[in-house]
Every structure is written in structure tokens, then in C-alpha cells.
Amino acid sequence: MLEKLRQAWAVRQIDDREQFVDIMSRLDRALPETGLLRAEWLLLSVYLQYPLLDKMLSAAQKAKSMFEGKCSKIILPESPWAFYEYVQVVAFHVKIGAADKEADMLEKFLSIYTQ
């Protein structure tokens, strides 16, 4: 299953949203509700909500609690977290007048995601 999760991550990185959603959906049904594989799935699932940082942050926080101090074997520290945009705040700025709040959420998200 770890290889399937790695496949989902690779598909996400090439921006094939439809295939990513399909793989994630199949994995969601196949994985146990707890444990490290579910934590990995939850961490990847943040991209099902992209670019809505509030929802991404919520999923990342849930994943963090399931990792129990362990690090992801899918999303590695050297992996680029933002592979589309040069200026990431632009990618996540979706609501007029909310840039400060979105920047704060991005900072919180990254502190969890990059562990």
C-alpha cells in the first residue's frame, strides 16, 4: 500500500487531479482507519482540498496526530511542497481581503506539512 500512496503523490505532482482523486478514493476504501498508512493517506489528502488552506490545514493536523511523532515516508523534507507556483501565497490567495489570514494559515500548514 505504501507504493500506491507513493504513486498517488507522483500523480499529484504531475497535476493529474482526476487520477489523483481516483487513486485516493480507492486507497481510502482499502486502508485501515488508523495507523501509519492512514496517516500517510491523510497527509496526501490535503491536496484534495487544494487551494483551500483552512481545509488543508485541518487535514494536515489530523494526519500529524496519527503519525505519533514519526515522519512521512511519502512526502520527504526535500520534496517540493509547492510545485506549481513561484509565489505560493498567490496560489493560496482565494478570498479578496483575506491575504493576511491566508498567509497565517499557510505558515501553520507548512509547519506541520514540512515535518
41 vs 28: CA distance, rounded Å: 7
Residues 17-61 have pLDDT tens digits of 999 999 999 999 999 999 999 999 999 999 999 889 899 999 999
Supply the mean pLDDT for the chain: 85
- The full set of domain ranges for the chain reads 2-113
72 vs 70: CA distance, rounded Å: 7
pTM assigned to the model: 0.72
Contact 82, 62 (CB under 8 A): no
> Which grid coordinates belong to 77?
523534507
Q: Which of 22, 113, 16, 7 is nearest to 63 (CA)?
A: 113
